[in-house]
Structure 1
Amino acid sequence: MRLRNVRRSSNIEDRRRSGGSARGAGLGGVGLLVVLAIGYFAGIDVTPLLQATGSGGGQTQPRELRPEEERAADFAARVLGTTEVVWSDIFPAQLDMEYTPPVLVLFSGQTASPCGGATGATGPFYCPTDEKAYLDTAFFAFLSRQLGAKGDFAAAYVIAHEVAHHVQNEIGLLPEVNAARQQATEAQANGLTVRLELMADCLSGVWARNVDGLLEPGDLDEALNAARRIGDDYLQSRAGREPQPHTFTHGTSEQRSRWFATGYERGMVDDCDTFGAQRL
């Protein structure tokens, strides 16, 4: 992805110098990310493991960021900048609305949010309460090395996906679905969540179509591969579990890649209506 001349977003809140909470520190950096991501994507509650490996409360001392961490922050800020340009154009053109971008919080290890701490069932996530997306940039390495989703555009897709949840919040869909989930059975709530996630994948595809001039050969394949690698069926199998469709919260590998491709090919928000779709 050609980002050298792309402006950096100013909507970045960098908490990484604080080092994050000591809770869960016994796992180590990448090890912690592996546990968090498997729990998040595979629907496994890993909070007890994090509690057991933690060394107590409190914050670590401020630290200097490594060069690769600085590069990750620069990358995230530039990708976020592209989402701001794209959605600021699409909102008035397709939705007759004005777009207000989210803040991207960069953290290391763990952090807190109004939606709860970044432990257990979290990885990259969006909190509608404070309208911020949260990302441990070490997740990029996990995505590439552990899940096999290599390439900078795979990492960019992760950011675009969380921004897509903000888009859902901006148009009023996220609070409606959250309210419906509160009244639903667990299986029904999971089904609603799958539709939300697949819609976010599709909206990520809409973003990708609109940054086409920044794409390099192979970028689209990187994003599609990333979508497949974080399908519920793939991740549950990878975690040694028999895939259980009623527990899915993000959709299968096939669904995630197909909805991303739909957004990319059509470029319209209306075509991402997974709630009205007969086939997911």
Structure 2
Amino acid sequence: MKWEGNRESDNVEDRRNEGGSGFGGGLLGGRSIGIGTVVVALLASWIFGINPLTVLSLLSGGGGSPSAQVQQQTPAQKPPADDRMAAFVSTVLADTEDVWKDVFAKSGGTYQEPRLVLFRGATQTACGQGQAAMGPFYCPGDQRVYIDLGFYETLKNRLGAPGDFAQAYVIAHEVGHHVQNLLGISARMDQMRGRVSTANYNILSVKLELQADCFAGVWANHAQSARQILEQGDVEEAMNAAAKIGDDALQRSGGGAVVPESFTHGTSAQRQRWFDAGLKNGSIQACDTFSARSL
């Protein structure tokens, strides 16, 4: 992926020096926690078992106003200038900003940029306590994407999905959730919680996640057209990552039976299909998973 020398976003907060302080020394509260020791929990919570739109609310008990759950943050810190991985995610975020600003503008709308928070172990969010074991996630309450960069080692070494474009796909997927939030899709989804059965809510969750995959493809389409960011093998990296994090693949890798009724993010084939749909069409309209006859 061609990213070096491109614009970096100013919407990146570096909380890694906080070390998860303020959470009482829980399992994931310390800065020294090793990502390898929580990989099973990471897979279960980020990719397999919990909707990223509700995971933090669930952890915080699902009650109270978001603002009441967050203590005052110290002034936002910028990542060090010589931090290559921070520069990478800042550049990818900037590219998503450029793409979605243009897409929204062409539809007569205004894109509100999200912020991306780098943290270690645990951090405070408007949705409750965020932990590294969740993997990357988006909190609609504060319009922030959260990521512990140790996840990328897990993606490469534990999941078998290496490559910088696979890493960019992860960020673009979470930004896709932000786009859903701006479009009101997330709110409509949230209203369905408790009104439908668990099985039906899981089906809706799959459609939400596949749409975020498709939005990641929309970003890649426009970024390639505008800045020719793709190199040989990049698309294959993203498709491989999508395959590795399908619900069916994760259930098989965990040694259990494949249970379609428990899917919340979609199968490997579905995740690949919808990322590819966004990549080829480059339009929000092509990502209407909720009206699709087949996923």
TM class by smaller structure: 0.7 to 0.9
Residue aligning to 1:201: 213
- Report deviation, 1:74: 1.0
Change (3 A) 1:221 1:265: same
* Structure 1 residue 90 corresponds to structure 2 residue 103: yes
Amino acid at match of 1:217: Q
Which stretch shifts more, 202-211 or 112-121?
Answer: 112-121
Question: Unpaired segments of 5 or more residues in structure 2?
Answer: 51-78
Residue aligning to 2:203: 191
Q: What is the TM-score when the length of structure 2 is the normalising length?
A: 0.83
Contact 1:11 1:102 in 2 (8 A): yes
Deviations 1:101-123 (A, max 9, x none): 10011111222212222249721
State the distance in 2 between where 1:81 and 1:24 align: 33
Contact 2:39 2:133 in 1 (8 A): no
Residue aligning to 1:146: 158
Residue aligning to 1:37: 42
- Report deviation, 1:31: 2.2
* Structure 1 residue 237 corresponds to structure 2 residue 252: yes
Deviations 1:31-51 (A, max 9, x none): 24513421222328xxxxxxx
Residue aligning to 1:247: 262
Could you tell me which of 14, 24, 29 is aligned with 2:27? 24
Q: Secondary structure at the match of 2:116?
A: strand
Contact 1:33 1:142 in 2 (8 A): no
Residue aligning to 2:122: 110
User: CA RMSD for the aligned pairs?
Assistant: 2.5
Residue aligning to 1:54: none
Amino acid at match of 1:3: W
Change (3 A) 1:148 1:230: same
Question: Unpaired segments of 5 or more residues in structure 1?
Answer: 45-65
Q: What is the TM-score when the length of structure 1 is the normalising length?
A: 0.87
State the distance in 2 between where 1:16 and 1:184 align: 39
Amino acid at match of 1:149: A
After superposition, where does 1:39-188 map in structure 2 within 5 Å?
39-40=44-45, 41-43=47-49, 70-93=83-106, 95-119=107-131, 122-188=134-200
Q: Secondary structure at the match of 1:182?
A: coil
Change (3 A) 1:251 1:121: farther
Residue aligning to 1:215: 230
Q: Secondary structure at the match of 1:112?
A: strand
Contact 2:119 2:146 in 1 (8 A): yes
Amino acid at match of 1:10: D
- Report deviation, 1:156: 0.3
Residue aligning to 1:60: none
Q: Secondary structure at the match of 1:170?
A: helix
Residue aligning to 1:48: none
Amino acid at match of 1:29: G
- Report deviation, 1:242: 0.8
State the distance in 1 between where 2:102 and 2:41 align: 35
Residue aligning to 2:67: none
- Report deviation, 1:182: 3.2
State the distance in 1 between where 2:89 and 2:120 align: 14
Residue aligning to 1:227: 242
Amino acid at match of 2:256: R
Number of residues of Structure 1 aligned to a counterpart in Structure 2? 262
